[in-house]
Amino acid sequence: MADRPARPPDGRPRALTGLGDVVDALRNLGLIRVGRGARRHLAHFVADDGQRISVQVRGAGPPVVLIHGLACSHRHWSAVARRLARRFCVYAWDARGHGPCQGNTTARITLARLARDLHDLIGHFRLERVALVGHSMGALTVLQYLADFGTQRVGAITLVDQSPRIVTDDDWQLGLFGGCSAAMLAGLIAGARDNLAELVLREIEASGHRWLQRLFAADALLGRALRRWLQSMEVRPLLDLCDSLVAADFRALLLRLELPLQVVLGGRSAHYGGLALDAYYRRTVPHAWVEVYPRGGHSPHYAEPARFARDLMRFVADLHARAGPAMEQRVSEAAG
């Protein structure tokens, strides 16, 4: 991860997500098939439109749902989930369009659709007083869920390195990179619609990983193969998702939020590092527990899983301790 917000010289953002391993991101999005086969260890539920969505379920106890970011998968939470499972029942899904959850490649994917999927997950597993933990796009999914379905079945939320609005303007400077306008992001998405292969190859070139640059150079065998493969892919559903992320704005929702809120930010986040997001959250939600991991990048939970799991366990345990023994018993029965 970069030591400060990424601000390319031409003012254009390099990517919508800060992912060092481009190959892994493409695999998570189902654009290339490398290595791992079917994940038989995963449970699943069926969303209200028939989409089968895979979920890793671990442990027993009060429920915690982990929601990954764009171009990630449930594996991004593995080190955290393993620790949480000692005290909680942990659900980590593969959002539609990610991992094995590919389904109908022509169906539109939006943030509202992901929020409905989360609603279906909570209903399928009959979760009550659930802690929702979202990273990046997953954090926006949590906020969209609250906006669309309310807080009745939610006990607490955790947002990981995410602004409530990713675009910036004259009145809002706490979005992506601290200076990324709607027009900039619209141009990036339009470029992907027009020629995803060129966009991905430029991302590889800008990644700083020399072995990746050599492996996927435009004149290299794998570079040519990747270009042909990406040109054959239907990526419209994922770009629709990106459009909905750009349009999202949850600042008003946070102003009236009464749920317990934990916010974890990466001090070296390539997306938000150096911005005063921590002060914004403390000011906007006075009861929030806000932590900045000084060495953390955009994925502080991935870089410091032991610390993140300890912080999250304490946050959720405090929630259930305040709920009292009767509520704890009902939560345990629902999780079982």
320, pLDDT greater than 80: no
- pLDDT by residue (tens digit) across 172-224? 999 999 989 999 888 888 877 777 777 777 777 776 677 777 777 777 787 77
131, pLDDT greater than 80: yes
321, pLDDT greater than 70: no
- pLDDT by residue (tens digit) across 243-284? 999 999 999 999 999 999 999 999 999 999 999 999 999 999
What was the pLDDT predicted at 188?
A: 82
What was the pLDDT predicted at 98?
A: 74
Domains of the chain: 22-335 (3.40.50.1820)
What was the pLDDT predicted at 207?
A: 65
pLDDT band at 15 (very low <50, low <70, confident <90, very high): very low
Greater model confidence, 277 or 25 = 277
What was the pLDDT predicted at 100?
A: 59
Range from 91-105, 118-132, 313-327 carrying the lowest mean pLDDT: 313-327
Greater model confidence, 53 or 334 = 53
Strand order in the sheet with 289-293: 43-46, 52-58, 89-93, 63-67, 130-135, 154-160, 261-266, 289-293
What was the pLDDT predicted at 159?
A: 98
Greater model confidence, 77 or 192 = 77
What was the pLDDT predicted at 335?
A: 40
Greater model confidence, 236 or 146 = 146
What was the pLDDT predicted at 295?
A: 92
18, pLDDT greater than 70: no
What was the pLDDT predicted at 71?
A: 78
Contact 166, 176 (CB under 8 A): yes
What was the pLDDT predicted at 6?
A: 39
What was the pLDDT predicted at 201?
A: 75
160, pLDDT greater than 80: yes
What was the pLDDT predicted at 135?
A: 97
pLDDT band at 20 (very low <50, low <70, confident <90, very high): very low
Strand 261-266 to strand 289-293: parallel, antiparallel, or no bridges (unpaired)? parallel
What was the pLDDT predicted at 272?
A: 94
